[in-house]
Amino acid sequence: KEKRELPWRTLALAESDINIRTYAVWVSEIMLQQTQVATVKEYYKRWLKKWPTVQDLAAATIEEVNQMWSGLGYYSRGRRLHEGAQKVVLELKGRMPRTVDDLLKQLPG
What does the domain layout of the chain look like in residue ranges?
Answer: 7-96
pTM of the model: 0.88
Q: Which of 15, 29, 64, 83 is catalytic?
A: 29
The pLDDT value recorded for residue 56 is: 98
The answer, yes or no, to whether residue 2 has pLDDT greater than 60, is no
Can you tell me the mean pLDDT for 31-47? 95
The pLDDT value recorded for residue 108 is: 77
The pLDDT value recorded for residue 6 is: 87
CATH fold of 7-96: Endonuclease III; domain 1 (1.10.340)
91 is catalytic: no
DSSP SS3 for 18: helix
The answer to whether 94 touches 55, Cβ cutoff 8 Å, is yes
Share of the chain above pLDDT 90, in %: 68
Torsion of CA 83, 104, 8, 16, to 10 degrees: 90
